[in-house]
């Protein structure tokens, strides 16, 4: 029993790192400052800066290079948003977006 209690204390709380696509989409929508329905690199960079994430410009460029599949300089459409979420989960951890 005593040993079990020790393990329980150390157990990680239920995943904070598991933002759903819908939550992520909602978050992105709130960062679409000019309301054109797309996320530009500048908007992504501004969002990261607001979160206090280091090197927001560099991170935004890397994320765009990964997720902007049609290379139009904006994140638009479900596929690109899904790609960005995958990238964010892998590289940043989505808990930082809350
Ligand atoms: Ca695009």
Distance from the CA of 71 to the center of ligand 1, in angstroms?
5
What is residue 95's predicted lDDT score, i.e. its pLDDT?
Answer: 67
Q: Give the CA-trace dihedral at 17, 22, 26, 29, to 10 degrees.
A: 110
| Three-state DSSP state, 75 | strand
Tell me how far apart the alpha carbons of residues 44 and 69 are, in angstroms, rounded to a whole number. Answer: 16
Distance from the CA of 55 to the center of ligand 1, in angstroms?
22
Give, as residue ranges, everything with CB less than 5 Å from ion ligand 1: 68, 70, 72, 74, 76
Distance from the CA of 70 to the center of ligand 1, in angstroms?
5
Q: 40 has which bridge partners?
A: 74
What is residue 17's predicted lDDT score, i.e. its pLDDT?
Answer: 58
What is residue 51's predicted lDDT score, i.e. its pLDDT?
Answer: 87
Averages of pLDDT over runs of 10 residues in the chain (98 residues) are: 50 58 90 93 94 92 96 94 92 72
Distance from the CA of 1 to the center of ligand 1, in angstroms?
55
What is residue 4's predicted lDDT score, i.e. its pLDDT?
Answer: 52
What is residue 16's predicted lDDT score, i.e. its pLDDT?
Answer: 53
């Amino acid at each position: 029993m005593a040993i079990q209690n020790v393990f329980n204390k150390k157990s990680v709380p239920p995943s904070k790192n598991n933002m759903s696509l819908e939550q992520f989409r909602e978050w992105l929508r709130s960062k679409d400052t000019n309301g054109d329905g797309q996320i530009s690199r500048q908007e992504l960079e501004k969002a990261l800066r607001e979160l206090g994430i280091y090197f927001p410009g560099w991170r935004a460029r890397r994320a765009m290079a990964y997720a902007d599949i049609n290379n139009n300089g904006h994140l638009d459409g479900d596929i690109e948003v899904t790609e960005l979420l995958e990238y964010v989960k892998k590289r940043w951890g989505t808990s930082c977006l809350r």
